[in-house]
Structure 1
Amino acid sequence: MSVAPQPPAWLAAVLAALAEGHDPATPPAWWRRVDGELDRLAGRVPFRVVYDWHARVLASASGSDAGRRVGDLHRRALAGDRVGADEWRAALRPALRELYRAAYPYAEARAVAYANAEVYATANGYGPDEVAGFAAHYADLSTGANAEAFADANAIANADALAGALARADETAYAGTYPAALVRAYALAAAHRAGAAGAPRVLWTAYGRLADALAESLSRVSD
């Protein structure tokens, strides 16, 4: 009886995250493609797949200069150039800050902040116009500050961890950077940029694009 090849830990984590992002009633089409590639490779997935996947989809998802700089580093690494940790870190921080800022659920967080401020103002005798003005001001200030803090903290922590793993092409270290969380952030950012993160199909589409690109990256590996 043959045993199905097991992917490396980083890829298993990524696949688990991608599996969350599809219509429960419809098995994802990409799953068969990935299984086929893993069978072909007997589970031996080189680290270059990480560079290829990030270069073609993840690093360029925002279309910004920061994203393109990270994409260029992935393409250099894919071509065999050794990129040092400091260079990775310097490029990753602004790109990840953009990513996590876009991934933050701003609309939902602002609605909660507005509702809480509205209750407070009403309970403290504010007039109708004052209630609305206070609630909007508070919601904008608090949500903006929280979104910026979220983006900054995640960018610093993740850039530092990713820089070392990418510089060394270390799959164990890369698995320790929680790549599943990065997948979710990319999908959420794409959905928010599309202006419909609350629509399940928009989020499923974002996950599907990431998964299709991963299958394509695996297909580029010679067995």
Structure 2
Amino acid sequence: MTDELGVEPIAATAGLDVAHRWLGNTVWPLLGQDELARLHRSPLGRTEEEWRAALIPALTDLYRRAYPYAEAYETASSAASGFAVKHGYSEAEAKAYGESYAAMNTDANQRVHAEANARAVASLAAKAFTAGDVDAYAQTRPGAMVRACIAVAGPEARDRLATGLRDALSP
């Protein structure tokens, strides 16, 4: 029997079957990452490199989209504009300076945040998935990923994630 993506579910690595079902049936489909969802639905025999190669781009996208860009931009712009005014810039010049600074600063922070978190989590998850190690998976801080998913998909995603977890717990 195949799922809605045409993948036949296979028993997951012992110990992480619930995590694989939840990630494969709920989390990654919610985020539009169907290829990664397929990997979770057929996790046996995957290498660390294969997991890492699939996880890094998906996690980078998740963390980039979850970054509180508008809030960070406003904070940086306001601080830089205030700095410029204190140093003799006109209001218009200070505003332009603040916006320029905020764009460069926030873009860089968002990129670094996404890449660093994705690489760290992907490395830990790849090891956990390959070994079927529940304790290693806990090191990926799944709760942080849930918060990122909600930031990206909206508050209504909370119910979908919870329902998906409940379904994964009772196959």
TM-score by length of 1: 0.67
Cross-structure match for 2:17: 48
Cross-structure match for 2:39: 73
Aligned equivalents of 2:105, 2:133: Cα separation in 1 = 39
Aligned equivalents of 1:88, 1:103: Cα separation in 2 = 22
Moved over 4 A (4+): none
Cross-structure match for 1:13: none
**1:46 positional shift:** 4.7
SS of aligned partner of 1:55: helix
Over aligned residues, Cα RMSD in angstroms?
1.5
1:181 aligns with 2:144: yes
Aligned equivalents of 1:115, 1:61: Cα separation in 2 = 35
SS of aligned partner of 1:60: helix
Instruction: Please say which of residues 110-119 and 180-189 is displaced more in the overlay.
Output: 180-189
Matches within 5 A, 1:1-223: 46-63=15-32, 67-77=33-43, 81-191=44-154, 203=155, 205-220=156-171
Deviations 1:107-126 (A, max 9, x none): 11111001101101111111
Indicate the structure whose relative CO is greater, using CA pairs within 8 Å and at least 6 residues apart. Answer: 1
Deviations 1:166-191 (A, max 9, x none): 11221121112222222222222223
Q: Mind listing any 5+ residue stretches in structure 2 that lack a counterpart? A: 1-13
Deviations 1:129-173 (A, max 9, x none): 212211111111100100000001001100000001011221121
Q: AA paired with 1:189? A: V
Q: AA paired with 1:68? A: D
